[in-house]
Amino acid sequence: MERSCLAIVLAAGESTRMKSSMSKVLHPIGGRPMIAHVMESLAEAGISATALVLGRDAEAVEKVARRDEMAVSSYLQTERLGTAHAVLAAGAAIADGYDDILVVFGDTPLITAAPLLAARKGLAEGNDVVVIGFETTSPTGYGRLIVENGALVAIREEKDASEAERKITYCNGGLMAIDGRKALSLIEKIGNANAKGEYYLTDIVEVANAAGGSAIAVAAPETELMGCNNRAELAGIEAVWQRRRRHELMVSGVSMIAPETVFLAYDTAIAQDVLIEPNVVFGPGVTIESGAVIHAFSHLEGAHVGAGATVGPYARLRPGANLGPDSKVGNFCEVKKAEIGAGAKVNHLTYIGDAFVGAKTNIGAGTITCNYDGVNKHITQIGANAFIGSNSSLVAPVSVGDGALVASGSVITDDVPADAVAFGRAHQTIKPGRAKVLREQYLAEKAERKKSSAE
């Protein structure tokens, strides 16, 4: 019979050191709030019930933490009296009688399912408490895990550790699993006889051992247990997350010329045989199909790039951009909420917004779809195999038919039928010799101004 499990997510901190206007667990990693990463790992570990212990920005935190496949309850921690006190804020949920209680933190977004499953396995083997720890070459500042004959004897804070204990490199990661049948009684026995007068969850190890129970530690990679207290640590976690995600994509068949310069979002989906050049940024909601090339210095968000398409260099795809197979959006182009048909080309210095561009159509340099009238957005419809000459402005709502040609420098305000040629520019006038007259006039005026200033 499968064991039931309740995960308690501690997310009530005031985030003082973040110096932020919002709870630190709402700060994004890979474009997604930290606590949402934690919740995803819990779901991957098969945990279907979670209790959130909330404080600052409780409603906002609860909103981003909820998942369809998981029952989530919330509890407000009104006092800050230590981690054991925070866990007891969810005492009503613990009392529901789960086999396992898993305690995690909302600011450890790099945790994966593997250590959580290992901790639960330790409970299934008959232990009362399982602490998730890590090995490190720099243990200073961490509580040490005191292990004897495979049993976890205590968690010793550095200030209380002996010289020999300080040499221990097996450190406390903060996350732990507790036997659900004993959790409340064990936590309620934790005292606050310490300098801060707080109730520390780490004391549960000695409480369990004193009651004749057993405690063990399981190891996780140090990076998975990285917590966040300030903006510098936030950047460090982001860097680790980005390295992990880049590696996953490259192993799956994505080529990155300079991976350390590519920045991904939590939901970036890139198929195999895609090439990504240096200095590319992916915001949320981007999908890249096989064989596409994303050239250097491009920025994509909320966009779909079809198979074999090319983007950039120096291109921007905004939300709603949908590039068909073998299409091209070139340098210094911006596409927003627009369909670019198969084989169509938007080569350079162009803005295409709120538009439909047909297959194999060519959009000349400097073309603009004038989609905004100051109040509302309007649609530009361009058919297949059309040609839009350079430096043209298409004033929406307007349509250009299949095979039509728009002359360079045109301002198009009326629909253009299929296979028609449209001119929308002023008539050119030539005045022979006039340039020489004007040049002489301008030079004389400049000389006069210079003479006046000298006097």
Residue 167 is assigned to a ligand binding site: no
Residues 70, 39: contact at Cβ < 8 Å?
yes
- DSSP label at 418? T
Could you give phi then psi for residue 28, rounded to 5 degrees? -85, 145
371 in a known ligand binding site: yes
Known binding residue 376? Answer is no
DSSP calls for 322-374: EEPTT-EE-TT-EEEEEEE-TT-EE-SS-EEEEEEE-TT-EE-TT-EEE-B-S
3-state secondary structure of 134: strand
Confirm whether residue 385 is marked as ligand binding. Answer: no
Whether residue 157 is annotated as binding a ligand: the answer is: yes
Cα–Cα distance, 93 to 73 (Å, whole number): 8
Q: Does residue 318 have a known ligand-binding role? A: yes
Angle (deg, nearest 10), helices 113-124 and 34-44: 50
Those residues whose C-beta lies under 8 Å from the C-beta of residue 296, and which sit 6 or more positions away, are 277, 278, 279, 280, 312, 313, 314
**Residue 73, annotated as binding a ligand:** no
Distance CA 405, CA 423 (A): 9
CA pair distance 7, 177, nearest whole angstrom: 9
77 assigned ligand-binding residue: yes
Confirm or deny that 265 is annotated as ligand binding. no
For residue 172, say whether it is annotated as part of any ligand binding site.
yes
Residue 13 in marked binding region: yes
**Any binding-site annotation on 351?**
yes
112 is in an annotated binding site: no
To the query of whether residue 37 is one of the catalytic residues in this protein, the response is no
Three-class SS state of 146:
strand
Residue 82 is assigned to a ligand binding site: yes
DSSP 8-class letter at 223: G
d(CA 319, CA 316): 10
209 is in an annotated binding site: no
Among 247, 348, 378, 427, the one annotated catalytic = 348
Q: How far apart are CA 139 and CA 210, in angstroms?
A: 27
Whether 394 has a binding-site annotation, put simply, is no
What are the binding residues for Mg(2+)?
107, 229
Instruction: Kindly list the catalytic residues.
Output: 348
**Numbered residues of the known binding site:** 10-13, 24, 77, 82-83, 107, 143, 157, 172, 229, 318, 336, 351, 362, 365, 371-372, 390, 408, 425
Sequence ranges of the binding site for acetyl-CoA: 365, 371-372, 390, 408, 425
For the annotated binding site for UDP-N-acetyl-alpha-D-glucosamine, the residues are 10-13, 24, 77, 82-83, 143, 157, 172, 229, 318, 336, 351, 362
